[in-house]
């Protein structure tokens, strides 16, 4: 089996962690029923859904990096990784913000976990998108 890129595997694992974060650290259902029967929409539900999709995309890009041979091709994919990491961070903050109440589960656990994982993905993407190193030449007799 040909040797896979370690960093690609790392990206894929990070993506997987983002996907499972809303499962391990659950958020509210889409609607929350109050004592008087009124239903209040919970935006964090949609935040989690979006993050799971981004996480899945990161897994796919990570696997592509792992299987690709040429450093130049990998570099382009790392740009995408960095972008996805940034989107992962921005989603719970601005794009689909979580609930207002600071003590809700989404704010206490899920949101910080996603931001931290998104930050790591962003850093890995930025590091990987630097100038690729050429494979070393064979020794001559």
Residues lying near another protein in the complex (CB under 8 A) are found at 32-36, 38, 40, 99-104, 107-109, 112-113, 115-116, 119, 136-141
Q: Which of 123, 118, 132 is nearest to 52 (CA)?
A: 118
Residue 56 or 115: the one with the smaller Cβ distance to another protein is 115
Q: Determine phi and psi for 33, rounding to 5 degrees.
A: -90, 130
Residue 26 near residue 107 (C-beta atoms within 8 A): no
* Cβ at position 33, least distance to another protein in Å: 7
Residue 94 or 133: the one with the smaller Cβ distance to another protein is 133
Residue 1 or 103: the one with the smaller Cβ distance to another protein is 103
Beta bridge partners of 33: 39
* Cβ at position 117, least distance to another protein in Å: 10
3-state secondary structure of 40: strand
Residue 7 or 80: the one with the smaller Cβ distance to another protein is 7
* Cβ at position 113, least distance to another protein in Å: 7
Residue 1 or 102: the one with the smaller Cβ distance to another protein is 102
Rg (CA), the chain: 19
Q: In whole angstroms, give the CA distance from residue 126 to residue 83.
A: 9
* Cβ at position 21, least distance to another protein in Å: 12
Q: In whole angstroms, give the CA distance from residue 12 to residue 105.
A: 26
* Cβ at position 4, least distance to another protein in Å: 16
């Amino acid at each position: 089996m040909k040797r896979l890129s370690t960093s690609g595997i790392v990206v894929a694992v990070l993506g997987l962690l983002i996907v499972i974060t809303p499962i391990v650290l659950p958020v509210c259902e889409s609607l929350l029923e109050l004592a008087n029967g009124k239903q209040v929409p919970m935006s964090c539900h949609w935040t989690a859904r979006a993050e799971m999709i981004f996480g899945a995309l990161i897994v796919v890009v990570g696997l592509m990096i792992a299987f690709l041979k040429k450093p130049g091709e990998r570099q382009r994919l790392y740009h995408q990784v960095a972008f996805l990491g940034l989107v992962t961070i921005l989603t719970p903050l601005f794009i689909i913000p979580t609930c207002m109440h600071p003590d809700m589960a989404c704010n206490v656990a899920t949101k910080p976990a996603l931001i931290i994982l998104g930050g790591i993905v962003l850093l890995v993407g930025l590091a990987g998108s630097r100038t690729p190193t050429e494979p070393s030449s064979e020794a001559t007799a």
